[in-house]
Amino acid sequence: MDAARVAVVGAGVIGLSTAVCISKVVSRCTITVIADKFTPDTTSDVAAGMLIPHAYPDTPILKQKQWFRETFDHLFALANSAEAGDAGVHLVSGWQIFQSIPTEEVPYWADVVLGFRKMTEAELKKFPRHMYGQAFTTLKCEGPAYLPWLEKRVKASGGQLLARRVEDLWDLQPSFDIVVNCSGLGSRQLAGDMEVFPIRGQVLQVQVPWVKHFIRDGSGLTYVYPGAFHVTLGGTRQQGDWNLSPDAEVSRDILSRCCALEPSLRGAHSVQEKVGLRPTRSGVRLQREFLDRNGRRLPVVHNYGHGAGGVSVHWGTALEAARLVGECVRALRAPAPKSKL
């Protein structure tokens, strides 16, 4: 068999990282990333990109931890390289604060981030309405820089990017031997999966260069995340809401909640509003299946449904999807079983 032709549907952080991992892990294949939206127009461009895991109720914690650790290690190496600026990846330190003692004083990811510890009384003085907090250093990975960086990696490995809407995964055969579905919310249509739904998130991007530490209110609803280009203020979690237009009333509420945590934000200027729809599911669907029609077979690897934490686990899930693609390629190359007649 010639090189296996692999189509990756989706050009958000999941599709592009999966394409890069396939090019590293699977030998003798060609890769085409197909999507109707590329950076800067994907959900992944709106994400604040903080590496703080979000819990997937249907996925074992050990698996979630493995995905997070692999992602952290990959981005930590990138943050320590000369490519850090181009890739939009950097370390950031700060606080996660609580109004009462959380049930999980030491979360499962505490030994993956750097220097995790309980906040001191002196630190907590900054947050008079909070009684408990955790301090740590993590990474921030900014979509508008990281996605173009991933696109360059795809092209450097010989892959192609194709702007096109896919109506049905089956339409990609016979041009492709294997399809990898990283279409996020698009999987409602492409995989017929009604379990995946949007959780709308609205954020503000402001110029407040004096704010250097992240602040995350324990529930994760209100946050101040400093980045290379702006500080992201969040947020909202509006379940089932498909509206991509910013809501001025919501923006006022976000600013007021964030100012309560960091009063110096009252001096914020150049406020931009952004909205994204988190492709949510009870667990990421990372699975191989075969589509069968008219006596033909198309192997499909699914990698979607990363919800509120896709950036935090993207490299781990991309590596796992790439291994599944490797299994599909080996199966295609295996000689067909001989007839016993």
Ligand X SMILES: Cc1cc2nc3c(=O)[nH]c(=O)nc-3n(C[C@H](O)[C@H](O)[C@H](O)COP(=O)(O)OP(=O)(O)OC[C@H]3O[C@@H](n4cnc5c(N)ncnc54)[C@H](O)[C@@H]3O)c2cc1C
Please give the C-alpha separations between residue 38 and each of 83, 145, 153, 217, in angstroms, as whole numbers. 21, 13, 15, 32
Give the contact letters, 234-263, x = binds to ligand X (CB under 6 A), - = no.
-x----------------------------
Q: Are strands 132-141 and 114-118 parallel, antiparallel or unpaired?
A: antiparallel
Question: Residue 50 or residue 154: which is nearer to ligand X going by CB?
Answer: 50
Indicate whether 33 belongs to the interface with ligand X (CB under 6 A): no
Task: Confirm or deny that 180 is annotated as ligand binding.
Answer: no
Considering the complex, state which of residue 268 and residue 340 has its C-beta at the smaller distance from ligand X. 268
Question: Any binding-site annotation on 280?
Answer: no
Which residues fall within 8 angstroms of residue 80, CB to CB, at 6 or more apart? none
Can you tell me which of 68, 76, 149, 304 binds ligand X, judged by CB under 6 A? 304
Please enumerate in sequence order all residues whose Cβ is within 8 A of that of 60, keeping only pairs 6 or more positions apart, or say none.
none
Q: Does 108 belong to an annotated binding site?
A: no
Q: Does 6 bind ligand X (CB under 6 A)?
A: no
Tell me the two tokens of residue 42: 């994907």
Any contact of residue 311 with ligand X (CB under 6 A)?
yes
3-state secondary structure 111-179: CCCEEEEECCHHHHCCCCCCCEEEEEEEEEECHHHHHHHHHHHHHHCCCEEEECCCCCHHHHCCCCCEE
Among 87, 133, 306, 321, binds ligand X (CB under 6 A): 306
Contacting residue, 48, 113, 211, 318, with ligand X by CB under 6 A: 48
Which CB atom, from 13 or from 82, has the smaller least distance to ligand X? 13
304 is in an annotated binding site: no
Q: Is 266 marked as binding a ligand?
A: no
By CB under 6 A, residue 312 contacts ligand X: yes
Q: Is 14 in the site for ligand X (CB under 6 A)?
A: yes
- The conformational region for residue 115 under phi > 0 = left, psi -120 to 50 = alpha, else beta, is left
Q: Is 13 in the site for ligand X (CB under 6 A)?
A: yes
**By the rule CB under 6 A, 191 interacts with ligand X:** no
**Nearest to ligand X of 13, 300 (CB atom):** 13
Structure tokens given for 326:
């490797």
Of 96-115, binders to ligand X (CB under 6 A) are: none
Sheet strand arrangement including 178-181: 160-163, 29-35, 4-9, 178-181, 296-304, 285-293
Among 186, 227, 299, 316, binds ligand X (CB under 6 A): 186
Residue type, 298: L
Which amino acid belongs to residue 281?
A: R
Could you tell me if 53 and 109 are in contact, meaning their C-beta atoms sit under 8 angstroms apart? Answer: yes
With binding defined as CB under 6 A, does residue 281 bind ligand X?
Answer: no
Does the bond joining 174 to the residue before it have cis omega, within 30 degrees of 0? Answer: yes
Paired tokens of 209? 């260069």
Contacting residue, 15, 159, 226, 299, with ligand X by CB under 6 A? 15
4 vs 16, beta carbon nearer ligand X: 16
Q: Which residues are part of a known binding site?
A: 43-44, 166, 223, 278
Q: Which residues bind ligand X (CB under 6 A)?
A: 9-15, 35-37, 42-44, 46-50, 165-166, 182-184, 186, 189-190, 201, 203, 235, 276, 278-279, 304, 306-312
